[in-house]
Structures are given as structure tokens and as C-alpha cells.
Structure 1
Amino acid sequence: MEYRGASAYNDDKFFENYITRRNREESPNNIIEKPILLELIGDVVGRKVLDLGCGEAKLGVELLQKGCISYDGVEGSVNMVREATKNLNGTEGNVHLSSMETWNFQSENYDLVVSRLALHYLAELKNIFQEVHRSLANNGKFIFSVQHPILTSSIKSAVASSSKADWIVDDYFNSGERIEPWIDKRVVKYHRTFEEYYQLLKLAGFKIEDIREGTPRVEEFSSESEYKRRMRIPLFLIFSCKK
């Protein structure tokens, strides 16, 4: 069986395993991707935020604590929405059960749209990027991360080992569906080249202000060996864009 979009997280066992994996001390999401994302986001005081594929909405809790005036999370998994609702309880944040493709984007409604490691699950991004652009107020920002195209190009290394120090790059310029073994399931992701992400953003009308590849920061690691291992392969691609 192959899982598409948020459907894998509706499998209770997969969801439990994911939460355990996601919250482990040296999750690269926490010690590599998140610090860069927050740096690019910057000051959120007085901002209205939309989070696409918000998961547990822990980012939303943090942004609300930092002073954003509203937070809407969009999430396609019932299990994730349930967890996000618990996390946002007592805040000005809301979570909505919807896929990104069917979400009703309100025109010029947000100052910031964010998405963490969710867009590579979508078969089509052209319309999503255009809708995000439409939903932003003037000078609004779109900041998102995806798996690095080196990782999504070929799943040969993912099949071979769970703890990798190098990666087979193959079939790079053939964009499209990839089926990756992940947490004992087969999960569908979509490979796009670095160039394709860039061109789709330009086509939607965005000005690309910054691009990061998730260079590890030694101060974020408690293990020197783990830091050295993470210096070998880029895991993330992070864009900061402006309307």
C-alpha cells in the first residue's frame, strides 16, 4: 500500500512512530531546518500567519508566543489536527482539516505564509504558489522548506540503509513521483529540481530573497560525530520569498 499526502498520518501506528521520531533530541528538523526557518521568518509581532501542512502546529504555538496576532494551520490528517488542536488550546491559533489543494485561500489576508517539509508531497505546485501569492498582503512573505532535491531524486539510498553517510544521486532531471520507504511504510513524494522550484516561484510573481540548503551549525549538536555526518549530505532546501 502506498500513502499519499497526509494519509499516512491517519494510520495510528505510523503516527505514533512519527511523533516519537520527530521529537527525538537530534531530529534534523529541530536542529538544522528549524533554526534557519526561524531566522528567515524574523519578527512576527502583529503578523497574520498561515501554515500549510502544519502538522502538530508546534510552530504556530511558538509564533503566537513571539507575538503574531493570528495563526491558521491547514492540515490534511485527522490525527495531526487532533494533536494540533490540543497544542493550540487557549491561544489565538486555529487549525483546519483540509488538504492544501482544496484550501480556500483568502485574498490578501496574511502577512506570512509558512510551510515546513510538506510541499514535496504535492503532485502540482504551480496553482498552490499562485494561491499563496494571492493570499498575501503587499510585501508579505512566503517561507517554506522541502526535502533537498538530492534526496528526492533517487530512493536507492533510502532502501539501502536507515543511517546514511552518503547518497546516490540519480534520475535528477526527471521530475515526478517517487515512492520512498519511510517508517515501515511506502510514502509517495514528488521530486523537483532546484531550478524547478525557483522557476515556479518566479512564475507566481514572487521575489526570491534568500535560499538556504540547511548547512548544519555545530553549536546545535551535542554529538561531534552526528555533526560530521550531517555535514556530508544536504537534507533541506529553504526558500524565503516576498510578494
Structure 2
Amino acid sequence: MRQNVYDQQDVFENFQNNRLSGRSENDLIEQPAIRSCLPPLTGKSVLDLGCGGGQLVKYCIEQGASEATGVDLSKNMLEYARAHHSHERITYLQGSLEDIELPHNQFDLIVSSLAMHYIGEYERVVNKVGSALRDNGYFIYSVLHPHITARKLLEGWVRDEAGEKRFWPLDDYLDDGPRDLQVTPDKKAVIYHRSMSSAVNGLIQAGLTLDQIIEPTCSPEGLILQPHQVVEIRRPTFIIFKSQKLVR
């Protein structure tokens, strides 16, 4: 059975309260970065894998995409997306990224925001993406940075006696596989750690060419709202991979 933590109501509400605050790491770090590396979208066909509440799907339409499809396993997420980010050129579909069938040679852009680290079958999904992209199309996705997910006990910063952050420990880096991520005080979700080489080689093996890697930090405007995010310079939370299906 595929993991569907966001249809647990308390997990969903906790996520939404953070996501809709306008002060989350998504808003201040990850979304500005992933949107900045999107190609021109006028007249393009877009697929969002793990679309959540539909914010990025709607943004792509606003940037001129001719059509956009959002896929998510969570009923709660899709209900929110249809209620708040609907459009005549948007289609929302329920399904897991591992199992959903993608049409061949259909999309100019496939994007995924903080969903691929929930996927155990990375190579399978990336191969489907490569097949579904049109020539010269892009696959752009963000995940938690592998130095965040590497340790099998995700315990965070090592602090000194005064509670100040001293350093971020790294261990188990080359041991790809599942990790437990705390999503509420009493609930965990399973995410999948992948080293940088595993992530990049999976793209290459799917016939994609790496175009760019981004390790975003908080903007100056974001630091006004959340000054503690200055630590992103010491260790970024997210990483974005931008790849392209080039015509040989």
C-alpha cells in the first residue's frame, strides 16, 4: 500500500497551517527557488507530480501554460486544490506516483515539489518521467537535501551547553533507503534518503541530462520574516535538480 500520510486529518491540518502561513520554508526558500528555474511556459503542457494543494499547478497556468495536470495520492490535498486552485485548463488526478500511468511524449515540463523523497521506487518513477517528456522537455524536482535525510536518526543540530547550533552531523550518507520523518509530535512518515550520486545517476539512466543543481537559501525578504533561516547558509534544507530530455 502506498504511503498517504496527508489523509490523516491531524497531519493534513498541521501541514496546511504551516503551508498557508506565508512564513514556511516552502514559501521563503523552496518555492521561490523552484519557480526561478522553470523554463518559459507559454503554450506548454505541464505535469505536477505530488501537486499537494495545487499552488504550483495554478502558478504554471498563470505563467502561460496551455494545460496543466496535477497528481496526488491525498484526497484531502486534491479537495483543497480543486476548491482553491482550479482552472479550466487544470486537471487534478488522484494516484500514487509509482503506479499512475503517464502518456508517452506528452509533457513539456514535469515538476515535483517536495514529493520525490516519499518515493521508494525512484528509478521506476524517473523512467516514466523520461518517457512522458517531449523532446527538449524538462524534469525539475525538489527534495529534502541528502545531508538532511542521511542520518538514520534525524536528530538535527548538535548544540553547545548554551543551546547554540554548533554543527550539523552527517552519517549513513551512502546507505540509501527509508528514514522516519516526524510530521506531527506523535506521528512519523517514511521518507527515502538518496545520495547525490544516486539521484543524479537515476536521471542519467532515464535518458535525461542534468542542467542545474540548486541549493537554495532564504531571500533577504524572507530573513526579515524568519531571521533564524540564516542557518540555511550553513546547511541548506532543500535541493533542486533540473534536467532535460535533449534531442540527440
Q: TM-score, normalised by structure 1?
A: 0.91
Question: Are 1:212 and 1:237, in contact at CA under 8 Å, matched by a contact in 2?
Answer: yes
> In 1, distance between residues paired with 2:2 and 2:100?
17
> In 2, distance between residues paired with 1:74 and 1:223?
31
- How many residues align structurally? 239
The DSSP-based 3-state class of the residue aligned with 1:62 is helix
| 2:207 paired with 1:182 | no
Consecutive unaligned residues of structure 1, counting only runs of 5 or more, are none
The DSSP-based 3-state class of the residue aligned with 2:224 is coil
The DSSP-based 3-state class of the residue aligned with 1:9 is helix
> In 1, distance between residues paired with 2:34 and 2:132?
20
What is the aligned-residue RMSD (CA, Å)? 2.2
What does 1:134-145 correspond to in 2, within 5 Å? Answer: 134-145=131-142
Q: What amino acid maps onto 2:219 in structure 1?
A: R
The DSSP-based 3-state class of the residue aligned with 2:71 is strand
Deviations 1:111-170 (A, max 9, x none): 000000001111111111111011011100000001000010113425999x99443211
Shift of 1:26: 2.3
> In 1, distance between residues paired with 2:128 and 2:22?
36
What does 1:79-228 correspond to in 2, within 5 Å? Answer: 79-154=76-151, 155-158=153-156, 165=165, 166-184=167-185, 185-223=187-225, 225-228=227-230
> In 1, distance between residues paired with 2:120 and 2:164?
27
Distance 1:92 1:164, change over 3 A: farther
Question: Are 2:146 and 2:193, in contact at CA under 8 Å, matched by a contact in 1?
Answer: yes
The DSSP-based 3-state class of the residue aligned with 1:41 is coil
Shift of 1:63: 1.2
Q: What amino acid maps onto 2:202 in structure 1?
A: L
Q: Which has the higher contact order (CA 8 A, sep 6+)?
A: 1
Shift of 1:103: 0.8
Shift of 1:226: 2.2
Shift of 1:92: 1.1
Q: What amino acid maps onto 2:106 in structure 1?
A: N
Q: What amino acid maps onto 1:157 in structure 2?
A: E
Match of 2:32 among 24, 35, 42: 35
Question: Are 1:157 and 1:168, in contact at CA under 8 Å, matched by a contact in 2?
Answer: no
The DSSP-based 3-state class of the residue aligned with 2:37 is helix
